[in-house]
A and B are shown apart, each in its own frame.
Chain A
Amino acid sequence: MTSAASAMAARDIARISKASLELMACPACAGALEAFSVGSEAGIACTDCAARFDVRNGIPNLRVDADQRTEVVREFYSVAPFPGYPPRDSLGSLRARAERSEFARLLDRAIPGDARVLEVGCGTGQMSLFLATANRVVLGADLTRASLELGGAAARRFGVDRVTFVETDLRKPGLRPGAFDVVYCSGVLHHTPDPRASFAALAKLAKPGGTIVLGLYNAYARIPHRLRRALGRLSGFKLIPFDPVLRDRNAEPARRDAWLRDQYLHPEEHRHTTAEVQHWFRENGVEYLRTYPDSLIAAEPLQGDEFFTAADDNWHFENWLAQIRWAGSLWHEGGLWITVGRKVDSRNDCPK
């Protein structure tokens, strides 16, 4: 029995590629990790402090004890992993769904074919699976094992072996600093207790010259949603007016419920402005590139791989106007906007 258990553990570890193991680090001391197997026990261990971490179903557990508020969020997602997979899903239909979004297409187009990509707060991992093409190595990190298990199962079902899911907390990340060409984190930091500190942790993970793609609730664009939520609260969320996403999902109770919980009942939520994010960028040596949707007035639609290039301008008044505009254009999706930045290469001041 022990040999069967150890064989299973060894197989679990074998699922983790060396390339992705190199992108992980000890959450306690940031040391390098290596696979080990002693007797019936197998897992990964820190080469510096010798801390050991278990691997179940190919998902390493690199989470150390979190603070109370983070734990509340983790519990929240454990109940209903978000966003989940429809029955009989396939890689083809997952990609077709993702490619309906212009944002996903632009992002995929801009990431090089051999990039090391990190998605922080990957949930059930759809975006990680979508981005895992060509020779990319993708790590999907999340707090909630229940979500990651769904992602890992989907990756195995679809035969995608370029994604590794990792259970970890951004505040004590089991991820190697300065290792990633692209760090993508959308709809996550505004659910952490201290988004500014979380961003500082996130920025450390990107390579010098690497790109950070950050999606947050916008303070202005979320006002309509908050009004809607206030109205919904009056009826104890039995009756929520003006939510097209909820209406679309009336026929699918599980997905409707997932959206309801995520948007209306979340225990931790912050909202941010373009100026605030640019301030975080400056604090952490990240050069501002652009926003999505574009904050420039009458901007040309992006083509090809332009997503990771600097916008023509960055004028705070124009940004402010854009946020007002987004209150009209982004409200139905909850007011999430994307900011793209480049980690400044400190060894080489003029970017290539």
Chain B
Amino acid sequence: MKILGISAHYHDAAAALLVDGLPVAAVQQERLSRRKNDAAFPLEAIEWCLEQGQLEPEDLDAVVFYEKPMLKFERILTCALRAFPKSWRSFPQAMKNSLGEKVWIKGIISSHLGIPGGKILFAEHHRSHAAAAFLTAPTQNAAILTVDGVGEWATLSIGRGHRTPGGKTDLVLLREIRFPHSLGMLYSTFTAFLGFAVNEGEYKVMGLASYGKPRFADAVRKIARRTADGAFALEMSYFDYHTTSKRSYSAKFIDTFGPPRLPYEPLDPGTPEGARYADIAASVQLVLEEILVDLTRELRKSTGLSDLCLGGGVALNGCANARILRESGFDNVFVPPAPGDAGCALGAALYADRIHFGQPDRPFADHPYWGPTLAPDELARVAREDGFAQEQLPNGEALVARIADELHAGKIVGWMQGASEFGPRALGHRSILCSPQGAETRDRLNREIKYREEFRPFAPAVPIEAASTYFDLPPGGARLARFMSGVFPVRAEWQSRLAAITHVDGTARLQTVDRATEPQFYALLEAYGRRSGIPVLLNTSFNLAGEPIVNRAVEGYSTFRRCGIDLLVAGDTLVRKERAGAIREDGNAAASDAEEAAE
């Protein structure tokens, strides 16, 4: 069967294609449209997926949308009516937002693809999340927990999955928590309060939390009160997101936590004001972890299963994931590379295939590389047009040795190989790599390329076998870290030698690299390790602030031209630029000229 999965219209639109139960292609719309967090109907992504499967739209057996638009509309309408009269101002806007193309998905898909409405299916939002988490994980029997902002009504759901190779798949959701009680919205509200962009700045809250002490934890616990059944309920008088779209926190929230931070104001945890923001971040992070740990502990007890699959946007919170692994009692915690809404495109397609159509279970490769591959020679062509020095290193070993040398010499390398990653993280196919050892390279990376806030850490990549030498991993930690899903302590004896990737609290969000799925990246880490003594590289996404991760070689090249990356590798082509320090050397030359004149 040929099934296309689509997610769109909230954030991170994406498409995924399944042929005979196996993923063929999956890509986020933003990588193709080059608009960060593009939520538009993912026409380019769909076209690319079909092209990849060499299909025409009429060849598809089904198109699955990742949520039920009418149910979602019902939720928006109900909430607006419940909040009346407070909501009268935002009501027209809310209706306009949802009554546009968002409700008429069936018509849109059918008119864009020219296929009959009967072939269009809808999977519930949290079932898509659950399928994306469970059906991509290497487990047959697992408990499932999905947590996000909101889909139709559910904001958190608990279930279990069972599948037999070549046989039937069962996926039951046992329980759900409904809007407006939402851990995702709780975290996002704090994200907005701390002056970061919602759905984008949650990483920053997590990074900032490490600088603070959770002295507001009791206040947050009052907002997210625990219920007798082990779940939670939000105290809605602190929030406004259910009544208006303008602001997510209420006046009472400000009374409790003080004035919100103005976006774009410098944030320095060293100042009293900055410390207050860090303490607030630490508090909400702590309470989130507590709730998730309690829920998963309960889930472990009630199901007796040893594997847990986590899905939904909250599963991007690596600190919480690591605590769940450590404290819930589950032996394995699996988080897919794309747990958020984009991953739902693949989840919805898998759900339709295995559950709706009852197709037999088929195991498939456990990696995120379902995106567009590099066109050979593209980089060589564009670099030649601009007269850049370039080299071809078609022999894999020579390339790896050469790049390891450059990295060891302190160069910052733009590294593009094979198919791009599906999901928000660069996992060694569209990455910027550099030495993790001194803070110096990291500062240069920040000053000339990433321009990140100083309180945000960079992530390391390490061969899976060597991971526990440098990092303090609990059992199952190496697996959780495959897609950078967990934050773990850096061993004390290595912290000073891994300064660039060690966060202020001594942790790192590491990626473990497997030789079987990632031979080249693995070889690079090893080669670098032979030179430096530590097979760890700093790995950050290949993009500039505000832009999506690069996809094609031309985008990598354009980014390379516009920032301080020293060296760009795409496939076996290597392009280099004048060393970033060259200008300063000229400056020294001017100084020596001055000295000569003095003589």
Contact = CB atoms under 8 A, between A and B. Distances in A.
Partners in one complex: yes
B362 interface: no
B561 A95 contact: no
A342 interface: no
A338 interface: no
A133 B563 contact: yes
Interface in A287-316: 303-304
B385 interface: no
Interface stretch (B5-13, B212-220, B589-597): B589-597
B447 A91 contact: yes
Nearest to B271: A88
Contacts of B590: 13-14, 16-18, 21, 35
B564 to A, nearest CB: 6
A18 B586 contact: yes
A10 B594 contact: yes
Interface string B261-277: 00011111001001000
Interface string B554-581: 0000000111100000000000011010
Contact of A42 (B265, B446, B594): B594
Nearest to A15: B587
Contacts of A87: 266
A41 B58 CA distance: 81
A113 B563 contact: yes
A97 B561 CA distance: 23
Interface in A117-175: 133-135, 137, 158-162
Contact of B595 (A10, A96, A108): A10
B594 A88 contact: no
A100 B561 CA distance: 22
Q: How large is the interface on A (under 10, 10 to 19, 20 to 34, 35 or more residues)?
A: 35 or more
A112 interface: yes
B598 interface: yes
Contact of A88 (B266, B447, B598): B266
B402 interface: no
Interface stretch (B111-119, B449-457, B478-486): B449-457
Contact of B588 (A14, A91, A100): A14
A113 B562 contact: yes
Contacts, number: 114
B447 A160 contact: yes
A17 B590 CA distance: 6
A134 B562 contact: yes
A244 interface: no
Most central of A92, A97, A114, A137 by chain B CB within 10 Å: A92
A14 B591 contact: yes
Interface string B434-455: 0000000001001110011110
Contacts of B587: 14-18, 161
Given A93-B265, A113-B563, A160-B447, A36 B583 contact: no
Nearest to A100: B264
Given A86-B265, A93-B265, A100-B264, A19 B591 contact: no
Q: Which one of B454, B546, B562, B593 has the greatest number of beta carbons of chain A within 10 Å?
A: B562
A271 interface: no
Contacts of B546: 99, 105
Contacts of B561: 112-114, 134
A89 B591 contact: no
A17 B265 contact: no
Contacts of A21: 590
Contacts of A14: 587-588, 590-591, 594
B34 interface: yes
Contact of B452 (A34, A92, A134): A92
Given A17-B587, A19-B586, A134-B563, A86 B594 contact: no
B545 interface: yes
B407 to A, nearest CB: 20
Contacts of B452: 92
Given A19-B586, A37-B595, A96 B545 contact: yes
B584 interface: yes
Given A17-B586, A135-B577, A38 B598 contact: yes
Interface string B254-293: 0000000000111110010010000000000000000000
A162 B448 CA distance: 10
Contacts of A10: 591, 594-595, 598
Contact of B34 (A88, A105, A304): A304
Nearest to A112: B561
A108 B454 CA distance: 23
Nearest to A99: B546
A90 interface: yes
A112 B557 CA distance: 12
Contact of A17 (B271, B584, B594): B584
Contacts of B451: 91-92, 95-96
Nearest to A108: B562
A88 B275 CA distance: 14
A159 B588 contact: no
Given A89-B266, A97-B264, A18 B594 contact: no
Contacts of A15: 587
Contacts of A160: 447
Contacts of A159: 443, 447
Contacts of A89: 266
A161 B583 contact: yes
A236 B325 CA distance: 66
B382 to A, nearest CB: 13
Contacts of B578: 135
A114 B387 CA distance: 13
A158 B564 contact: no
B597 A38 contact: yes
A169 B577 CA distance: 35
Most buried by B among A39, A135, A304: A135
B589 to A, nearest CB: 5
A14 B585 CA distance: 10
B264 A92 contact: no
A339 B595 CA distance: 44
Interface string B1-43: 0000000000000000000000000000000001000000000
Most buried by A among B268, B563, B586: B586
A159 B443 CA distance: 9
Contacts of B593: 18, 34-35
B234 to A, nearest CB: 30
A48 B583 CA distance: 26
Nearest to A18: B586
B446 A92 contact: yes
B453 to A, nearest CB: 5
Contacts of B563: 113, 133-134
Nearest to A303: B34
A97 B580 CA distance: 25
Nearest to A21: B590
A162 B582 CA distance: 11
Contacts of B443: 159
17 contacts: A6-B598, A14-B594, A15-B587, A18-B593, A35-B591, A35-B597, A37-B598, A88-B268, A89-B266, A93-B267, A99-B546, A113-B561, A133-B562, A133-B563, A134-B562, A135-B578, A304-B34
List 4 A-B pairs, minimum CB-CB distance, nearest first: A14-B591, A113-B561, A18-B586, A37-B598
Given A14-B588, A134-B564, A135-B580, 18 more contacts: A10-B595, A13-B591, A14-B591, A16-B590, A34-B593, A36-B594, A42-B598, A86-B265, A90-B453, A91-B451, A92-B454, A97-B264, A113-B561, A133-B562, A134-B563, A158-B447, A161-B583, A162-B583
